[in-house]
Amino acid sequence: MTKRLKAAAVAATLGFFALGAVPSTAKADEPYWQCVTFARMFSGINIFGDAWTWWRQATANFRTGKAPETGSVLVFRPEGRMSRGHVAVVSDILTDRVVRVTHANWGGSRGKVEENVTVVDVSPANDWSQVKVWYNPI
């Protein structure tokens, strides 16, 4: 029940706390979300800076680990076009190797929030060091 209430509260406040530029294709009244701004607000974890720095910053102040938990932040290291990394909030645990995340500014959903996106651990050691993120168009 508290998870639903928290989600409802976040949904109700999304329009009030959006930061960032609005691209010319967006409607003026739609917020443009960056992943770090959204993850900070949605998770309550007060870390600032590029997404790739969150893991290092978290080790000094938060509990970290190699097994995602609901409400935790999944940190992606920089790679390819994702030069600043990415962060996503774990919204549900489906199995020990499959979770759902809620995140912003991913793939073709620039500036938008995507809810309950499937992420699969494909690492040989089952340590979440390599993942595949569901992206609807492909």
Q: How far is CA 100 from the centre of its chain?
A: 10
Nearest one of 61, 41, 40 to 49, comparing CA atoms: 40
Is 53 in a helix, a strand, or coil? helix
Could you tell me the two tokens for 87? 């962060």
Q: What is the pLDDT of residues 62-106, one digit of tens each?
A: 999 989 999 999 999 999 988 999 999 999 999 999 999 999 999
Cross-strand partners of 98: 120
Q: What's the pLDDT score for residue 114?
A: 93
Could you tell me the two tokens for 37? 């701004």
Looking from the CA of 58 toward its CB, the CA atoms found within 13 Å total: 20
Cross-strand partners of 121: 131
Q: What is the pLDDT of residues 9-55, one digit of tens each?
A: 333 333 333 333 444 455 667 789 999 999 999 999 999 999 999 99
Return mean pLDDT, the chain. 82
User: Taking the model in full, what pTM does it have?
Assistant: 0.77
Report how far residue 65's alpha carbon sits from residue 114's, in angstroms, rounded to the nearest whole number. 24
Domain 2-18+29-133 has CATH 1.10.10.60: no
